[in-house]
Amino acid sequence: MGKKKIGLALGGGGAKGLAHVPMLEALDELGIRPHRITGTSIGSILGMLYASGISGTRIREGVRRMIISKDDSFRDSLKKRDVLRWFEFLDVEFGRGGLFKGDKFIEFLYKQMDKHTFEELETPLRVVATDFWTSEQVVLAEGDLLSAVKASMGLPGVFTPVKRDGRVLIDGGGVNPVPHDLLEDCDIVIAIDVMGQMQPDKPGQIPNLVRAVLGTFDIMQNSIIAAKRQLTPPDIYIRPMIVGIDILDFHKADEVYAQAAPERDRLVEELKRLGVVETSATLAGGG
């Protein structure tokens, strides 16, 4: 069991990315530690935390603390559906390629970790961003972690692009939403796709401006994911059916976990099928 090198790809999807947490918890409970992790957007954030040695359960607890802490301004922002009300936490930056700089969020992450470079991580990590001017995929795997993650999560028009190594970088979802193809040195590749499914509030609903723009980006990412699955199919492909969750709905964490539970169980069954874990292996609890 321990001889097979496991590669784990964590895809982007905003708050839907919280569906990664039950999958990480399942791997922990089964005693599986990835040989390498890749991540895009929120997948890069959770991948960074996990690669630094923070368990899936601790990540879940951290999310819960953000949401329920009475003294946390970030928690208060999370409970507000209106994107504009995030201004108090996400430092407004009109006129420079995005609404928010994202520096305060990066500072928040910085305080949660004791490792701040790729070289310090317990598990090798590759983070995907997009070079805005060349449209090329940029794989970040050395040096400063937080600027890499900030670039990878730089949703166009929402977060200010990041300058790094002479490039202007934006969200990696524009080129590789679920970067399982970067795990070619692994024996078994697990791809976690958290894009979910868009769903109208009522039949025939016309989306508002924000939903239209973000939804179009989702459609593009789904097309890329489908194409890459055909070219380099992962050994295990997991896609929780996440519905009713918008990009900033982090306060709906429990809903996301519940919707992810069936695919978490399927992940376990797939690992058994491939001989990664014993067929008698089970998980202790629910989502």
Token pair of 249 as six digits: 């709905």
- Contact criterion met (CB below 8 Å) for 32 and 271: yes
**Catalytic residue (choose from 41, 52, 77, 152):** 41
Distances in whole angstroms, Cα of residue 276 to Cα of each of 32, 120, 177, 269: 8, 27, 26, 10
3-state secondary structure of 126: strand
Catalytic residue among 131, 171, 181, 218: 171
- Let me know: does 252 contact 80? Beta carbons within 8 Å: no
d(CA 123, CA 50): 8
> Would residue 171 show up in a list of annotated catalytic residues for this protein?
yes
Active site residue 44: no
Per DSSP bridges, beta strands 125-131 and 137-140 are: antiparallel
The residues carrying an active-site annotation are 41, 171
